[in-house]
Structure 1
Amino acid sequence: MSYPALFTTPGMRNFAEAVDTERQRQLEKFGDQHHPILRGPSNQELFERLAHGLREANADSAQRCWMTILLEEAYEAGAERNLAKFREEIVQIAAVCQAILTDLDRPEARR
């Protein structure tokens, strides 16, 4: 079944369709999963340190790349204890993933 979607961001429709296809594959393979959202303080401290290091790397244009940007967002999410803010970080991760795929799909993509 197809649902109409109005996306204004270039590449967003392709991204959403690719994510939906992958999500269906995951559901078929693993079923509907439930895991803890966040775990103990030692993980939070680790993620905070990793996020800090990646923020420093991303401040340097010679080190910054899509993976350092993506991992910074992921570690920021892992360091978050407030579920509303955690959700915001997860949305940021999704947006970075969309930007990466849009950049990758350009004919002149840097490999």
Structure 2
Amino acid sequence: MYPTLVTTPGVRAFAEAVDAERQRQLAKFGDQHHPDGTGQYPETIDADVARMACECAAEGGYLDWMHILREEVAEAFAESDPVKLRAELVQVAAVCAAWIADIDSRGSQT
């Protein structure tokens, strides 16, 4: 269907699922443009709290995907610089891809 652009296991299926969802969104809402709305209080505080919770969970041996994704999303919400925000959103997408790959590896695909 697509030329080979990615080699990480599971990322192609993730990208195809995201592409299909984007097509549904475009069909329903059209091309959208909104302000970022990031980099404001209390999101900056939330990012610090999420980062500390993730670190504590890792140190305590109970780190899970929710901790990791919450930290990445909170960091994105706290970022006001568009270049840094984009980098944070790429990290959010990468964590989502990793979490989905983990779910798929358990045989619980939907």
Amino acid in structure 2 at the alignment position of 1:13: R
Give the gaps of 5 or more residues in structure 1.
none
CA-to-aligned-CA distance 1:31-84 (integer Å, 9 cap, x gap): 222211134632443433443343334433433111110010000111112211
Q: How do 1:18-97 residues align onto structure 2 when only pairs under 5 Å count?
A: 18-39=17-38, 41-97=40-96
Q: Could you say if the C-alpha distance between residues 29 and 55 of structure 1 is closer, same or farther in structure 2, counting changes exceeding 3 Å?
A: same
- Checking the alignment, whether the CA contact within 8 Å between 2:39 and 2:77 is kept in structure 1 is no
Relative to the length of structure 1, the TM-score reads 0.80
Higher relative contact order at CA 8 Å, sep ≥6: structure 1 or structure 2?
A: 2
Tell me the distance in 1 between the aligned counterparts of 2:7 and 2:39. 39
Tell me the distance in 2 between the aligned counterparts of 1:49 and 1:99. 23
Amino acid in structure 2 at the alignment position of 1:99: A
- Checking the alignment, whether the CA contact within 8 Å between 1:76 and 1:89 is kept in structure 2 is yes
SS at match of 1:105: helix
Tell me the distance in 2 between the aligned counterparts of 1:40 and 1:102. 30
- Checking the alignment, whether the CA contact within 8 Å between 2:39 and 2:80 is kept in structure 1 is no
Relative to the length of structure 2, the TM-score reads 0.81
Off by >4 Å, runs of 4+ in structure 1: none
The share of aligned pairs that are identical, in percent, is: 50
- Checking the alignment, whether the CA contact within 8 Å between 1:57 and 1:68 is kept in structure 2 is no
SS at match of 2:105: coil
- Alpha-carbon shift at residue 107 of structure 1 (Å): 3.5
The alignment of Structure 1 onto Structure 2 pairs a total of residues equal to 108
- Checking the alignment, whether the CA contact within 8 Å between 1:73 and 1:89 is kept in structure 2 is yes
Q: Could you say if the C-alpha distance between residues 3 and 108 of structure 1 is closer, same or farther in structure 2, counting changes exceeding 3 Å?
A: closer
Amino acid in structure 1 at the alignment position of 2:31: D
